[in-house]
Amino acid sequence: KQEVTQIPAALSVPEGENLVLNCSFTDSAIYNLQWFRQDPGKGLTSLLLIQSSQREQTSGRLNASLDKSSGRSTLYIAASQPGDSATYLCAANYGGSQGNLIFGKGTKLSVKP
Amino acid sequence: DAGITQSPRHKVTETGTPVTLRCHQTENHRYMYWYRQDPGHGLRLIHYSYGVKDTDKGEVSDGYSVSRSKTEDFLLTLESATSSQTSVYFCAISDSSYSYNEQFFGPGTRLTVL
């Protein structure tokens, strides 16, 4: 069964710290991996999409990496800010006719001022 | 932000009543999805559509049906709501199912079944 795991479930850091969120997937035959941010009571905001042929993708202070052989992806957040506090979700796309995403359960990030 | 709206945003209903949730997009994307989000389970796919009148089941489809009569609208129906269907429901859209499948999500509908 294709599964996606995110560890830790929660993380608290002081403002300004660089941090890494982890995502692992059991089946390496992914088409792409997508990172989302979810604020309490809100929908999901797409942050980064990494194609299976890519090693990393960057957007501002965010950098996502992908290592298919080890079944891992990381989301690096530089110089964290209180506004980064949210739940971060990763999701693997295994393609096929449906192309639905297999989600991890998320890492809840709290950045303290 | 992708043009996706969901209605209603909140609904409280009683066990045994039918409920229909609506997802509307203005992006003309081919693929539309319904997920539910529950504590401890994360997001799981209920049904999806790959075109007008083309739909199929996802991981947790029991008790749900869908319809798509227009590109822009995807309806999710609970024929007879049960307490286990209390959840937050998200609609998503994409213009591809393969490598370039970036999905965009709506704001969600919080459904409570009493």
Give the A window 25-54 contacts with B, CB below 8 Å.
31-32, 34, 36, 42-46, 49, 51-52
Give the model confidence (pLDDT) of A53-109 as tens digits. 899 999 999 999 999 999 999 999 999 999 999 999 999 988 765 667 899 999 999
C-alpha distance from A3 to closest chain B C-alpha (Å): 11
| Residue type for position B85 | Q
The residue-averaged pLDDT of B41-52 equals: 92
Q: What is the pLDDT of residue A10?
A: 96
Chain B positions touching A105 (Cβ under 8 A) are 40-42
Give the model confidence (pLDDT) of B89-102 as tens digits. 999 999 876 656 78
Q: What is the pLDDT of residue A73?
A: 97
Report for A24-28, B8-12, B47-51: range of highest mean pLDDT: B8-12
Question: Are the C-beta atoms of B36 and B95 separated by less than 8 Å?
Answer: no
Distance between CA atoms of residues B8 and B109, nearest Å:
6
Distance between CA atoms of residues B102 and A48, nearest Å:
9
Q: What is the pLDDT of residue A96?
A: 67
Contact A98 B41 (CB under 8 A): no
